Amino acid sequence: MKNQKFYGLLVLSLVASNLWAQLQPAPADVLKSLQQIAVIDQKVMMPMRDGIRLATDIYRPKTEQKVPIIFSKTPYNFNSWSDGEQRNGTYQAALEAVKRGYAYVVQNERGRYFSEGDWEILGPPTTDGYDAVEWLSKQAWSNGKIAPIGCSSTAEWQMAVVAENHPALTTFVPQGFGAGVGRVGKFFEQGNWYRGGAGQMLFTAWLYGVQNDEIRPQFPKDATQEQLIRASKAFDLDPERARIDWAKGLAHLPLQDIIKNANGPKGVYEEMIRRKPNDPAWYKGGLYHDNMPIERPGFWFVSWYDVSSSPNLALYNHVRATAKDPNARNNQYLVIAPVSAMAN
């Protein structure tokens, strides 16, 4: 009887998923709707203070009025094309924002996809986030009010940058943000890299798939915006690597050679696996530590079944307890959902 119920629920779930997929608008339809109401400016190469340029897509309402900005800064692939097919995700998010009067800006972190520079997990320069906010706040169409939003690695940079106290940052919406928490209260995990002082192996497997090799394909610095847009329809610079049986792969010793043993990319892992929890390098990147004041209202999302639920909750309560500005202290809100990471 239990098996019958299980299979019945499984069938219903599959049917519901199929119906949901069929109800989603085609990418071309979403883009057409977006084009009717938005100015679309893709592959804008935004300059940072050290000359590195970050690939940025901007979608803003067709209006003469200055507008607020929803800002998504991410290491993930937001390219509108993949494997020769147009994708919906970024266009759908932009459409929802523009319909409500916001500009929607999505940007790749340095060293990711079309962005220049070298990438390091848990260590993007805090200055990149600050510089992006500064650049956006100075645009002729911007009203100078910016709110970052995002989940997982699209959230993890937010806290340290918000602590920089740029006047254009009005609020922030971090979701599943634990790998951005370096030290808070009794938690000393340096972005979930450690648990009880031992490195968590989930990052080893993850970095095999996402870290850059010592060399990676990049477009020429003198490539025009038009050329980059055209190239993006054929090349998204997303690496595809062989599948690994990590039940066996993670058993390899020494730990520092796990990715090498899997014939994976040579990148940031080899340096990070040698760090200790108190290594000064953890304090030079983009991690948030509890000596960094946050004085902005926040809308936080946490998953009960995320590996980082405990430090996430500790950080939320830390901000509520330490913010000096009553507007920030009294306007921290938290949603805790009975889901896994990335399901916020």
Here the CATH number for the domain that contains residue 166 is 3.40.50.1820
C-alpha to C-alpha distance for 85 and 174, rounded to whole angstroms: 30
Residue % of the chain over a pLDDT of 90: 72
Cβ proximity of 341 and 307 under 8 Å = yes
**Is the pLDDT reported for residue 20 higher than 80?**
no
Residue 48 belongs to some domain of the structure: yes
Residue 187 belongs to some domain of the structure: yes
Q: Quickly count: other Cβ atoms within 10 Å of residue 54's Cβ.
A: 24
Cβ proximity of 148 and 106 under 8 Å = no
**Is the pLDDT reported for residue 34 higher than 70?**
yes
Structural domain range at position 190: 23-340
Q: Which residues contact 170 (CB under 8 A, 6 or more apart)?
A: 68, 145, 146, 147, 296, 297
Number of domains in the chain: 1
Rounded mean pLDDT, 179-184? 93
Residue 27 belongs to some domain of the structure: yes
Residue 272 belongs to some domain of the structure: yes
Residue 12 belongs to some domain of the structure: no
C-alpha to C-alpha distance for 172 and 71, rounded to whole angstroms: 9
Cβ proximity of 48 and 109 under 8 Å = no
Residue 5 belongs to some domain of the structure: no
pLDDT in tens, 134-181: 999 999 999 999 999 999 999 999 999 999 999 999 999 999 999 999
Residue 3 belongs to some domain of the structure: no
Residue 30 belongs to some domain of the structure: yes
Q: What is the pLDDT of residue 341?
A: 72
Task: Identify the burial level of 336 via C-beta atoms within 10 angstroms of its C-beta, where 0-12 means exposed, 13-18 middle and 19 or more buried.
Answer: middle
Give the residue with greater pLDDT, 21 vs 335.
335
